[in-house]
A and B are shown apart, each in its own frame.
Chain A
Amino acid sequence: MTARATTDSSTDDGALAAAYTRGDEQAAAELVHRHAAAVGRFLYSAGADAGDVDDLLQETFFRAFRRLDQWGRQASFRSWLFGISSNLLRDEFRRRKGRRMFSLEDRDIPDRSDPHADLAAVETEERLRAGLGRLPRLQREVFLLRVNEGSDYGQIAAALGTTPGAARVHYHHAVKKLKELVR
């Protein structure tokens, strides 16, 4: 009944999205495989509890596929997913009535295989997590999309519903605040 998409890495996201709207579930699965790691990393870095990341990730993709017609293609599919994730995080924060939904300060430092791991590096990580947790939400998300994903300001603006100029200002504010923590 439906044509199956060619789901190798050369098929672009738009073609996969179109294939899914024609009923090809394999195309949707391919989109999840392509973008889950980046979106999960964003959710976690932006403050979602580790135990909530997988649920939030699933919710992000669920909302995306339900509203595929709203992906205007001005932004990349991944940027659009970041925008949905960002809205989810904000909704979660509001649902908890302003109580901070996450505590970057309280997170465990990941296990290190090297028992002689540099203590200074661990302390820097702790300070950084604390610093990220204290940034305003938009500053934090702009900063993380730029540093972890290498997104440009246009992509960030499209994802987070701001302007490229404002994104640049947010980024530089975040850098200024965090730079002192790693000196």
Chain B
Amino acid sequence: MSVCTQLSDRMPGVALGRSPWTSEEQRHLAACADCRAEWALILAVARLGAGSHALGDPSVTAAGVLRRLRTEGARRRSRRPAWVAAGLATAAAAVLVVWTGHDTAGGTHAAAPAATRIAMPAASSTPPDFPLPELDSLPADALDSVLRVLDEPLARAGAWELPDLDDPCDQVLEQTVAHKEG
């Protein structure tokens, strides 16, 4: 790694005051116009970043975020019984079918009791709207954990997206680098 590259790597840390230049680095800076130009750039951008924008009070931000989270939590809890019940009913029906299939193995599967065959579509297409007192008695945070786990596949979508699609040059660049890195 060349001295210029080493200095380049050190510049952000030095500009942020995390560590000073060594005397050897200072000598190189004095002698190398390219490194001086880069150092001037880093200092100028660091100044821009430091003085650029007066943010609002973080307490206000925090209060706003927590209010939205509480509202969303309440909304989720209010719609919980119907679809949790639907999920449980579907799972129960599936278990019943498996159990019935096991019980009737040997050619009688198709002759499963009519009630079973009717119950499954009914459970999955029109969720019964009955309360689930066991779930309602859970503390709010425990319920949220349950709901979060149930929500996972949906919530995951779009969280970490692939590299920028609006920048094809970057994509090609990343593929090239990835290839080089093996």
Contact = CB atoms under 8 A, between A and B. Distances in A.
Interface of A: 1-2, 21-23, 25, 28-29, 32-33, 36-37, 40-41, 44-45, 50, 53-54, 57-58, 61-62, 65-67, 69-70, 83, 87, 90, 93-94, 98, 110, 124-125, 128-129, 132, 136-139, 143-144, 146-148, 150, 161-163, 165-166, 169-170, 172, 175, 178-179, 181-183
Nearest to B72: A66
- Interchain residue pairs A-B with the least CB separation, the first 5: A148-B49, A32-B62, A29-B62, A23-B141, A44-B53
20 contacts: A22-B141, A28-B65, A32-B58, A41-B55, A54-B55, A67-B159, A70-B156, A90-B164, A110-B51, A124-B44, A147-B46, A148-B50, A150-B13, A161-B162, A162-B163, A165-B180, A166-B170, A166-B178, A175-B38, A178-B41
Given A110-B52, A124-B44, 10 more contacts: A1-B141, A28-B65, A37-B55, A44-B53, A69-B148, A147-B49, A148-B45, A162-B174, A170-B170, A179-B37
Contact of A166 (B64, B161, B166, B173): B173
B170 A138 contact: yes
- Consensus secondary structure, chain B interface: helix
A175 B41 contact: yes
A163 B174 CA distance: 7
Contacts of A148: 45-46, 49-50
A66 B8 CA distance: 38
B155 A36 contact: no
A125 B53 contact: no
Given A36-B55, A138-B164, A1 B177 contact: no
B102 to A, nearest CB: 35
A29 B61 CA distance: 9
B180 to A, nearest CB: 7
Interface in B86-140: 139-140
A66 B62 contact: no
Contacts of A57: 55-56, 61
The residue in A1, A53, A62, A166 that gathers the most chain B C-beta atoms within 10 A of its C-beta is A166
B181 A70 contact: no
Contact of A128 (B48, B53, B59, B164): B48
A183 B37 contact: yes
Contact of B155 (A70, A83, A175): A70
Contacts of A165: 177-178, 180-181
